[in-house]
């Protein structure tokens, strides 16, 4: 017996979109470096730092709103929700730290090599 056709799952769709996105990002990075040299590396580093900063300032990490009242129930609820999401924030901070490190490295290397090759 012949197996039936496979169903195209949502996971495969997400993987395909991610693959296309990474391919486009890789092409843009390659084009920047090929056309602009070390200045392209500098721009990639700045873009990485910008993305890390935007990721760090999402809804959970933005400046908190002031509570509507001064009741202790609201303050306790805020503290409890902060404690619950500690593991998520720690994991997100690891990713942001990695992105910041990569961005700083690319920016520094791009800047110094661009200046060195211009002199």
**Domain ranges within the chain, ordered by starting residue:** 37-118
pLDDT cut 70: percent of the chain above it: 71
**3-class SS shares of the chain: helix, strand, coil, % to 5:** 75, 0, 25
Provide the pLDDT confidence category of residue 109 given band limits of 50, 70 and 90.
Answer: very high
pLDDT tens, residue by residue, 76-88? 666 667 666 676 7
Q: Could you tell me which residues come within 8 angstroms of residue 90 by beta carbon, excluding any fewer than 6 positions away? A: none
Q: Judge whether 40 and 110 are in contact, CB under 8 Å.
A: yes
Q: Is the pTM of this model over 0.75?
A: no
């Amino acid at each position: 017996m012949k197996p039936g056709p496979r169903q195209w799952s949502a996971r495969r769709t997400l993987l395909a979109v991610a693959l296309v996105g990474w391919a486009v990002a890789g092409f843009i990075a390659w084009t920047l470096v090929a056309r602009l040299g070390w200045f392209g590396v500098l721009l990639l580093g700045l873009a990485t730092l910008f993305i890390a900063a935007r990721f760090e300032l999402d809804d959970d990490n933005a400046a908190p709103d002031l509570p509507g009242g001064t009741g202790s129930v609201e303050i306790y609820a805020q503290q409890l929700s902060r404690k619950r999401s500690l593991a998520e924030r720690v994991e997100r901070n690891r990713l942001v730290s990695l992105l910041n490190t990569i961005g700083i490295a690319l920016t520094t290397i791009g800047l110094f090599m661009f200046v060195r090759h211009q002199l």
